[in-house]
Structure formats: C-alpha cells, structure tokens
Amino acid sequence: MPNQTFNPPPTEWEGVPILKKTIDLYKLYYNYTTLFPKKDRYTLGATCEKYIIEILEILLQASYLTKEEKLPLIKKASNKFDILKVFIRLIRELNIIDQKKYLALQTIIQEIGRMFGGWMKSFNNPIQKLPL
C-alpha cells in the first residue's frame, strides 16, 4: 500500500474569517459561562449565547449566497452583534465576569466589529478595477 497522508476535509468556515472569529468568540464565551452564578447563567448568560449562535447561523447562511444576496443577512447579523455587545458590557458591569475575561472577549468582539465594518463598506463602496 503506498504511503498516503490523510487530509481532513476543509471546514466550512476556512474561507470566511468573520465566521472563524465568531466561533472563537463562542468557544471563549462558553468557557466563561461555567463560571457564571446559576441565576446569571440561565438569564443574561443564555441570552448572549443565543445571540452568538444566531450570528453564527446567519453568517453560515450568508457564506453560501451570492454577493448581492448577502447584504440583508450581513445587516441582520451586524444588528444582532450590536445587541450582543451591549449584553456583554452589562455582564461586566454586573461583575458577572472580571475585567481580564471581559478584555479577552472584547478583543475578539472588536476584531469581529472591524470585519463587519469592512464587509458592509465593501457593499456600499465597491472598488472597481479600471483597465490599465
């Protein structure tokens, strides 16, 4: 038998950096929720988790669409993301997580925000290459 290497199939999000970052956000947030007090885990904690999952779902859907079809979904995901940011800030203000954990979440949140901004800008200001 010839020596063959096994290459796993590519993951769905390899070509969509914002999707990978949102998955990273979910993983980090998920780990933090185990530290939440029980009452907060099932209220504000669950709400934030629900929003992250909804954003992931929308981004996955958008990744399969044409550029023209993506815009409404990107706007919807961006709106949900803005709401999520408020809830994450509230979690910190209620001292459900400490400053260090908040800053770790905030770092990923800011990256995702920049990605949304760039994506939205590309729809509003498409750069057209002119022939030389």
Residues 108-118, mean pLDDT to the nearest whole number: 95
**pLDDT score for 98:** 96
Contact 87, 61 (CB under 8 A): no
Domain architecture of the chain: domains with CATH: 17-121 (1.20.1440.60)
Could you tell me which residues come within 8 angstroms of residue 83 by beta carbon, excluding any fewer than 6 positions away? Answer: 51
Residue 105 or residue 2, greater confidence: 105
Residues 41-64, mean pLDDT to the nearest whole number: 95
Residue 101 or residue 124, greater confidence: 101
